Structure formats: C-alpha cells, structure tokens
Amino acid sequence: MDSNANIIVHEVGPRDGLQNEAERLSVSARLELILALAAAGLPRIEVGSFVRPEWIPQLADTGELVRQLLAQKLPAGLRMSALVPNRTGLARAVECGLREVAVFMSASESHNQKNTNKSIADSLREFEQLIPEARKQGVTVRGYVSCVWGCPFEGPVDPKRALEIGRRLVSFGAEEISLGDTIGVGNPRQTREIVSLFLGGDAAGPGIPAGKLALHMHDTHGTALANCLVAYELGIRIFDAAVGGTGGCPYAPGAAGNLATEDLVSMFTEMGIGSGVDLERLFEAGAVAQRHIGHALTGRRLQAAFGRRAKLAVARAAT
C-alpha cells in the first residue's frame, strides 16, 4: 500500500479523554494506560497537561507521570506530548524531558474566555512569544483551534476566523494545526467546506498544507467518522481520537466524548487504509481504560469486542 494513503492517529485519551472524567486516576493508573496504548502501536500519545491543577485536577502530577514514562523502555519512534497554556507550562514540560507540546485556543471569543480566561487577541499575543521560545529549545509545537464547527455559547462560528488563527499559529512556528469540532455538531458537507477553505485559503491569505492539518472530532451527533472520511478524501491524514471515546470539554456544555480510537482505526482498516495500530492490543488498552475509569466507555467497536469475548468465554465454559 502507498504509505501516503495511511493515516496517523494522534491519541488524546490520557489528556482530553481523562480531563472530563469524574474519576481522578493515579499516576500509576495513567502510566499503565499509556504503556498499553504505546504497545498497541499508537505513534503519538498526548499524555497530560501542564495547566494549574485546580483547573483540571484529573491531570495533576503530569510532570511525575512524564518522568516515569521516560524511565520505561518505550517503542522506537513514539512521540509523546502535553498541553501547555503559557510559558510557565512550557518550562515545566521541558524540565521533565518532553520535546513536544501543544497550545490551545478557540475560534469562538466566548469559548476562549471560558476555557482560557483570555481573549483571542490575548491568546495570540501569548503564543507569539511561546511558540518561538519553544522552537529555540528544540521543542515541537502543535496548535489546537477549538469550536471550528460551532460554539456552545455563540452557535455557528465563521470558519474564516478559524483559518486566520491557524495561519497566525503557523507563522509563529507551529508545526501542525488541529481543528476541533469541540461540541460534535459537524456534518460532512460542513466538514468539506471547512477543510477545503483551510487547504485553499481565502482573500485574506493562503491556505495551510494538508500535512500540517489534523482533525479533532467529538461525536455528539454520531457523525465524527463521516466527517473524518470526508477530510481524508480531501487529503487529511492526521486524526485525533481517544481510547474508548472518552472525554469532552469541561468548558463546552453538552459536548460528548471524543471520536473513539477503536472506531477510527477499525473503519480505516476495513477500507484497506493502514494506521500501524494493532486492533486487538488497542482493545486491551480500552479494557485498561474502562477498568480504571470505572464505567462502561462509549466506543462502539470496543464494546462490540467486549461482547465477542464474553460470548467466547461462555462458549468455552459450556464445552
């Protein structure tokens, strides 16, 4: 198969997945989950964040988690990253040994204020300093742009505003821009229009190459896979997903979980499109996540796999 046809899965379960769960997982539980995800062949894993613990207590102790991860024998080529809100977060990430970070902001003024306590203009001023500083230290930076498909407070969002933010982040030195359907309301036609705009640009400036774009879809309306397929047909190859469909945004009321990693990988695998991920080991990682989180996860393929295994166990016991 042409390697250019393969997808790259950016696993966000240990960060975006866990931040909206009521259960606060210990460092050892998070370590077990990340190692299981790495063993499944996921090439990129977002392991946590360096925001203030009172904001997201579920992700406290990320520095200790990273130090323990880096002491493990990890798969060759595994890329690990963490979210940083400011230069203090960047310094903490670098101090514990991470070489990749992500910054985040929204295309919606209201959501940006709720999520970061800053205006869009203030966030851009912050990242105009932070991203070059990270690059000088040899740290790769990814930029998240939330609410591209819609906002829980403002409703529809002008995608041209999101494109301008993406262009600015790239001009600062961001290697990649992840476009977020934070409340999971996108439909395939809208996705085609948004991705085409980002690729082709507008009167205000050029587009962003497909290789620098990723999609981060939530699945509130059950359309995340359809949206990913449309984006794939337009040339996008990087997709964010969370083990078991965990997650949601604490500052986006009504948002469902992320697109489940198992659902994404299964769909593309059945289409003959590779990801380098071992599905059976991915289901095992999902079992680890569900055990620690303490309730059934929403990933459709994960629950189907659990059902098959339960039936096999019953059949074996009967023979």
Verify whether residue 249 is a known catalytic residue.
yes
> What is the three-class DSSP state of 149?
coil
Q: What type of residue sits at position 46?
A: E
Phi-psi region of 227 (alpha: psi -120 to 50; beta: other; left: phi over 0): alpha
The pair phi, psi for residue 39, each rounded to 5°, is -65, -25
Work out the end-to-end distance of the chain between its first and last CA atoms, rounded to an integer number of angstroms.
Answer: 42
Tokens of 264: 């994404």
Are 169 and 177 in contact by the 8 Å Cβ rule? The answer is yes
Catalytic one among 147, 151, 228, 249? Answer: 249
Can you tell me the distance from the alpha carbon of 186 to that of 13, in angstroms, rounded to the nearest whole number?
21
Can you tell me the distance from the alpha carbon of 312 to that of 167, in angstroms, rounded to the nearest whole number?
52
The string over 301-311, giving b where at least 16 C-beta atoms fall within 10 Å of a residue's C-beta and e elsewhere, is bbbebbeeeee
Can you tell me the distance from the alpha carbon of 59 to that of 146, in angstroms, rounded to the nearest whole number?
20
Are 244 and 280 in contact by the 8 Å Cβ rule? The answer is no
The string over 256-292, giving b where at least 16 C-beta atoms fall within 10 Å of a residue's C-beta and e elsewhere, is bbbbbbbbbbbbbeeeebebebebebbbbbbbbbbeb
Are 50 and 93 in contact by the 8 Å Cβ rule? The answer is yes
The helix (H) or strand (E) run that includes residue 9 is: strand 8-11
The set of catalytic residues is: 249
